[in-house]
Amino acid sequence: MFANAWHWVDPAIAIPKTRAVLSAGGHLVLIWHALVPAGPVAADIDSVYAQHQLHAAQPAPSRPDTSALEEAGFSVSTDSFFVETMWDTGAWLDQQFTVSTHAVLHTAAAQQLRSDLFDAIGPAGLAITEQTHVVTARQ
């Protein structure tokens, strides 16, 4: 199982190794989960990231690319789940700053980005679409 990590491996290497360790009929499960701002505040957040010349912390694939797995002979199924939730501004910002694109920022840049994002969102929190995509590849 890979959870939010498959993008870190080279499929040309990982797929043959996966095939070698799976038993006949074994499954590889890939999971992506992202928190995507919803509603009018999403454009404000995008604007802040553009001003800082950054991308949002967690772009979510609309449909995971399964072509390499299919070409390797896996039988693939994909499921996606979407849940609308409300997040406290501080909690959402705390989560965003655990992502590598944010964690590597110099302290002053990170503080300014966090402040600008808080100003764009406001203290009331924000609507989030929690997206989970699950790919099951059966050998």
Q: What is the CATH number of the domain that holds 89?
A: 3.40.50.150
Per residue of the chain (139 residues), give pLDDT as tens.
Answer: 888 888 889 999 999 999 999 999 999 999 988 889 988 899 999 999 999 998 776 565 566 789 999 999 999 999 999 999 999 999 999 999 998 888 899 999 999 999 999 999 999 999 999 999 999 999 9
Range of 118's domain? Answer: 2-138
Domain count, the chain: 1
The whole model's pTM is what?
Answer: 0.77
98 vs 103: CA distance, rounded Å = 6
